[in-house]
Structure 1
Amino acid sequence: MARIGRRGRLWLRSFHIFFMVLWIGAVVSQVVILMFSSLAKSGGALQAFNAAPQILNILTGPGCLGTIVTGILLCWLTPWGFFKHKWIIYTMVVVILDIGVAQIFGEPVVNKMAALAEAEGLSALQNPEYVSAWNRLVILTIVTSLLLISALFVSVMKPWRKRKEVEAAE
């Protein structure tokens, strides 16, 4: 297995942290913008609020991809490995879940809300279909934000022992 030196590992970890912060920052920004969208005073403002998550994908995509690539490199090029530690397994599962949930459930809702806001303007806020989509998206973005933040904390705190240590203790 290939290995990387101390300086290379520090650079790689720094880039990994940068991309994770970019990703989490964009997702948390989406939550904040979504919360304030109900305060829109005009149809144009509502359209802008609904366009914001799509614009923030400019940050979310590279943040997500950079996190995945640097995470894979860290697992491959360091003694941590891919499945040696439970915290790595947890973060991999969270990242896969987050991407899947956002793509399968989040993206269609964002597109639907944007289309309704464009077609109906400010009156979309009284449309039950829009309100239902807004509620789903609020819950979804809060859950995905909390999942990503939990992955960040688990990556830093490393709360669990190695898998082999646990298996040996049992």
Structure 2
Amino acid sequence: MILSPFFRKLALTLHVISTMIWLGSAAAYIPIAIYVLTNQDVELVQSAIQIMSWIVNFIIVPTAFASLLTGVALSLGTRWGLFRHYWIIFKLLLTVIAVFFLIGYTRGLSEMASIASNVDLSVLQDREHIAHTIGGLVVLIVATVLSVYKPKGMTRYGWRKQLDTKNDSTPYSTPRWIKRIGFAAIVLLLVIVVLFFFQTM
């Protein structure tokens, strides 16, 4: 089903706005997380944790879901499709993974905010704040770059759909950049497994 021009523009506008708010909130979140890690004033750190919890629950999480849903709607309602191009699949996977980790982080942060007045600084000054924030920011930047550059390369499904509409007998081939990313992902996964193995020994 193809969206009408009005609804396509509306969905695109909502997608861009929600994604930029998510990106901006994640970037603004980094100084607060650094402040929590480096400050020794218990009351100020507790207040910062409360502020972080409010930002995550009322800005970052809603805009993350809005970005995901409007992105899926745009893919399904336009000629791009959801599974026809590799860049769309990568962007979808990155967004789903980011939302999944965001939900896990939100639960932990909410627990910290609820018990902030009863714990010491060592518990509140968790380095995961920085790791989650920087990781989320990198994922959002990569997804934005994919949206702007739209690297060439159709999936096998997209190629078959294109053949249905055109009389083209060009054989299917996986783009080089997909093979390189796949190889890099396998190497990264092996490194993570090895590091995890040595940590548990």
Tell me which residue corresponds to 1:111. 110
Identical positions, percent: 20
**Distance in 2 of aligned mates of 1:167 and 1:77:** 28
Q: Is the 8 A contact 2:75 2:82 kept in 1?
A: yes
* Gap change, CA 1:6 and 1:21, over 3 Å in 2: same
Matched, 1:169 2:173: yes
Q: Is the 8 A contact 1:30 1:52 kept in 2?
A: no
TM-score, normalised by the number of residues in structure 2? 0.70
Q: Is the 8 A contact 1:43 1:117 kept in 2?
A: no
Tell me which residue corresponds to 1:52. 51
* Gap change, CA 1:61 and 1:116, over 3 Å in 2: closer
Q: How does 1:138-157 map to 2 (within 5 A)?
A: 138-157=130-149
Amino acid at match of 2:27: V
Tell me which residue corresponds to 1:94. 94
* Gap change, CA 1:20 and 1:167, over 3 Å in 2: farther
Higher helix share: 1
Q: Is the 8 A contact 2:61 2:102 kept in 1?
A: no
Partner SS state of residue 45, structure 1: helix
Partner SS state of residue 168, structure 1: coil
Amino acid at match of 1:159: P
**Distance in 2 of aligned mates of 1:7 and 1:45:** 48
Any gaps of 5 or more consecutive residues in structure 2? 160-169, 175-201
Tell me which residue corresponds to 2:9. 10
TM-score, normalised by the number of residues in structure 1? 0.81
**Distance in 1 of aligned mates of 2:145 and 2:60:** 19
Amino acid at match of 1:8: F
**Distance in 1 of aligned mates of 2:171 and 2:52:** 44
| Deviation of the 1:70 alpha carbon | 1.2
**Distance in 2 of aligned mates of 1:130 and 1:49:** 10
Larger radius of gyration: 2
| Deviation of the 1:6 alpha carbon | 3.5
Q: How does 1:22-37 map to 2 (within 5 A)?
A: 22-37=21-36
Number of residues paired by the alignment? Answer: 161
